[in-house]
Structure 1
């Protein structure tokens, strides 16, 4: 349970804190692919299909600011940069692993629910 501040609690609970860090359509996928090891920007962009450059850069900057992702600039020309998980980020990915398993186990049910939602709108 999150620590409460009597005037203005920052988070309602631990889930709220976690969602603050991984919120957005792309962050969980970025973390999933970074769990495989240090990854260059272009490889990450190809892995996270559908994300725009602007959004990927923004999400990476936020994850870096939150201490989840580390950006390593090798100071070379042409530019060589890669991204990796910090130990803090690796612990977050480890906590997300059961969600990945649940999604894989229920992928067909989820797809059917999404189809039903489309037809009901």
Structure 2
């Protein structure tokens, strides 16, 4: 099991946001769950670049942080569904605003990102 080498710093709201949303796929996972994609296989189809293992890790972290809830249905094979909690749903307007900001500045952002390579 991974153990962080540095202590967690939670001095302000931005530290909290970073701790809870840090992860390449977390924002997209929240948005796709909000759109109705609740099964891990559906989420995998929405984010094909992510491995199932990474998605499961990030979903488990978001469950631990209270952003999503997980329901396991007792059947064979097991069925799992995720849904947003009230806390997770409260992030959706923020995520939409960030997406709109990125759309407005798409060319500038792409240029800056591609200059890094």
Which range, TM-score by smaller chain?
A: 0.7 to 0.9
Greater shift, 55-64 or 77-86, is seen at 77-86
Extract structure 1 runs of 4+ deviating beyond 3 A. none
**For residue 65 of structure 2, what is the aligned residue in structure 1?**
66
Counterpart CA distance in 2 for 1:105 and 1:65 is 33
Q: Normalized against structure 1, the TM-score is what? A: 0.82
**For residue 21 of structure 2, what is the aligned residue in structure 1?**
22
Gaps of 5+ in 2: 1-7
Once the two structures are TM-superposed, the CA of residue 37 in structure 1 deviates from its matched residue by 2.5
Counterpart CA distance in 2 for 1:77 and 1:94 is 37
Once the two structures are TM-superposed, the CA of residue 78 in structure 1 deviates from its matched residue by 2.2
Counterpart CA distance in 1 for 2:94 and 2:18 is 12
**For residue 47 of structure 1, what is the aligned residue in structure 2?**
46
Gaps of 5+ in 1: 1-8
CA RMSD of aligned residues (A): 1.7
Once the two structures are TM-superposed, the CA of residue 38 in structure 1 deviates from its matched residue by 5.1
Whether the 8 Å contact between 2:9 and 2:15 is mirrored in structure 1 is no
**For residue 89 of structure 1, what is the aligned residue in structure 2?**
88
**For residue 31 of structure 1, what is the aligned residue in structure 2?**
30
Counterpart CA distance in 1 for 2:33 and 2:56 is 14
Once the two structures are TM-superposed, the CA of residue 51 in structure 1 deviates from its matched residue by 0.7
Which of the pair has more CA radius of gyration? Answer: 1
Q: Number of paired residues?
A: 110
Q: Normalized against structure 2, the TM-score is what? A: 0.85
